[in-house]
Amino acid sequence: MHNLTFLSNLTGPDLDPYVRLNEAQLFHATKPGMFIAESPKVIERALRAGYRPASLLMEEKTLDRDLADLDHEMAVNQTTGLKQAPIYVVSDKMLRQLAGNGYNLLRGALAAMYRIERPSLADFLATLPGDHPRIAILERVVNPANVGAIFRSAAALGIDGVVITSDSADPLYRRASRAAMGTVFQVPWTYVDAKTWQTEGIALLHRTGYQTAAMALRHNTVSIADPQLDKVDRLAIILGSEGPGLLEKTIDQSDFTIKIPMAPGVDSLNVAAASALSFWELGNHQNLR
């Protein structure tokens, strides 16, 4: 049986994550913080990855459908963790009051979930597969939709892990996890402090055997199809901010600068599109089908 509570208003403190707290406040609401997962598919993938729900919020008219979707996904993947969480059920009229927070339940349920503490960069790198690992570094990628799309491409195209500078968008922000179709819970990832990324993070990558490939245009830039890249044992692909791109110091410290060949008159792609092409060319293809 599910722990259902049918509500007549949105005033209770247990509804704060949905009604009164923004993303920044949620991040610091508890230790180690919370985030909002949206839609049964995203919620199920979060549960499968070990995230614990504080509560769920569902619309009464789609309750049976959403619960059936969640129960089916959890049964198929042998996932637990939903039965004990309170599920608050509200009317369509009450949901419209959430418009100020940007919530739109056309795609299903919401869940307030507890964050999992992320490992240090050193510990994260130590957990990745030792045979020809390929990782992506996101430096100052601030659009959550782009972050989500990059994760989706990473999951699909053979990237073993993602590292995100702390001044990038949060992968667990609901717009990011929705764009990723829940793959932010599938691909291993961690943060690196933006303040120490260039002074310590890149050096740590090099000490642990990674060569870095910065996506940038310089006189020595090579194509993502250059055969020498495939010969690198451990490769970190660095993608930069949507506007200015990578910081000069990051490029200076990289082993390669790489580009996507394209038609005259166009010198760049959106970072999400660029990630998909570079991951297809440079990712691990053993498990692709």
pLDDT tens, position by position, 30-44: 667 999 998 888 888
- 90 forms beta bridges with 59
Give the pTM.
Answer: 0.89
The count of domains in the chain is 2
Work out whether strand 161-165 and strand 256-259 pair parallel, antiparallel, or are unpaired: unpaired
Phi, psi of 259 (to 5 degrees): -145, 165
Task: Please state, for a pLDDT cut of 90, what percent of the chain lies above it.
Answer: 56
Same domain, 177 and 89: no
Residue 94's CATH number: 3.30.1330.30
Same domain, 232 and 271: yes
What pLDDT is stored for residue 98 in this prediction?
Answer: 66
Out of 84, 114, 144, a domain closes at: 114
State which residues form the domain around 60: 3-114
- Comparison of pLDDT for 24 and 108, the residue scoring more: 24
Residue 216 counted as domain residue: yes
- Rounded Cα gap, residues 112 and 13, in angstroms: 13
Give SS3 for 228.
helix
What pLDDT is stored for residue 81 in this prediction?
Answer: 61
Same domain, 128 and 257: yes
Same domain, 75 and 174: no
Out of 63, 96, 114, a domain closes at: 114
Instruction: Give me the sheet containing 222-223, strands edge to edge.
Output: 189-192, 161-165, 134-138, 235-239, 211-215, 256-259, 222-223
- Bond before 32 cis per omega within 30 degrees: yes
What average pLDDT does the segment 156-184 reach?
A: 93
Residue 7 counted as domain residue: yes
What pLDDT is stored for residue 131 in this prediction?
Answer: 81
Same domain, 133 and 260: yes
- Asked whether the predicted pLDDT for residue 289 surpasses 90, the reply is no
User: Could you report the per-residue pLDDT of 191-233, keeping only the tens digit for each?
Assistant: 999 999 999 999 999 999 999 999 998 888 999 999 999 999 9
Are the C-beta atoms of 35 and 185 separated by less than 8 Å? no
What pLDDT is stored for residue 32 in this prediction?
Answer: 74
The secondary structure of 38-98 as a DSSP string is ESHHHHHHHHHTT-EEEEEEEEGGGHHHHHHHHHHHHHHTT---STTSEEEEE-HHHHGGG
Same domain, 96 and 134: no
> Could you give the angle at the alpha carbon of 152 between the alpha carbons of 147 and 156, nearest 5°?
145
